[in-house]
Amino acid sequence: MTGVLQNVNQRTQLVGQNRLELLLFRLRGRQVYGINVFKVKEVLQCPKLSSIPNSRAVVRGVSHIRGETIPIVDMSMAIGLPGLPQEQLATSFVIITEYNRKTQGFLVSGVDRIINMNWEDIMPPPKGAGKDVYLTAVTNVDEKLVEIIDVEKILSEVSPLREDVNEELVTRSAAQAKQSLPVLVVDDSAVARRQISRCLTAIGMDVVTHNDGRQALEYMKSLTQDGSSIRDHLSLIISDVEMPEMDGYTLVTRIKEDPLLKDTFIMLHTSLSGVFNRAMVQKVGADDFMAKFSPDELAERVMELIGQD
């Protein structure tokens, strides 16, 4: 499996095509799960793990991999299932990923294969799934349901990020943001939407949120159906890249093609921090890129942009 993924960065030239590649894996039982290959650095047989005193049970230990000490999170436990038995670790796998500027490994029982899909075939979780479900999306592969894990939700519980904006920034923003138009935030992760909204609200911004690119595009077109420019309605857009139905790259492309929408400032705000190529942002015409998630950095950048209006 390491051989399959050794050139993973070269497999991600899908920008603007509304496509993705999913790595399929299993935890306990027959259910198949997926993770975007963009996030994956390596897949390897579970290495020897060293325990961490006073760590949460979901962190099965740490391992020294390619010069870096990496925490290994039991994916089963992280989403509320029983953890993998100790005696099965030797035959299990670790998916090394990079999210939100950090590297971590996820312990899984088995890794299947990589599939190429269209984001239009990736759907939001069923509405009756509830707020606490650890999914951002679902899809069907070979007539079987594949559940795409909300890794940002897992990491927010295992290793919480600071979400509050520095008081100095809050004070500085008090007069500036009052005259500003709302910010449109587009992200399929409820955790990410909450983090970004909390950050922007702290500096006095009004926030409108949508779960995917298609929803956001329809909302923007509804604002401009009277012939007005989107700049009369929104200060800027902050969009994730990975989203069901329409990804962030395709959203940018569609916006820039529309005469009434093209002048809006678009920031791609994504957890694809390690393998992300800035040239890809420029390719689709986005105006800025920021890796998730630093509340002070995001707040300062938004204040800077608002101040330029």
Q: Which token pair is 74? A: 């039991």
d(CA 20, CA 36): 7
Query: Per residue in 247-272, pLDDT tens?
Result: 898 999 999 999 999 999 999 988 76
Provide the token pair at 208: 């409108």
pTM, entire model: 0.80
Q: Tell me the residue type at 97.
A: T
For residue 20, what are the β-bridge partners? 117
C-alpha 197/C-alpha 185 separation (Å) is 8
DSSP state, residue 52: -
Tens digits of per-residue pLDDT, 73-92?
999 999 999 999 999 999 99
User: Who wins on pLDDT, 172 or 175?
Assistant: 172
Give pLDDT tens digits for 13-28. 555 567 788 999 999 8
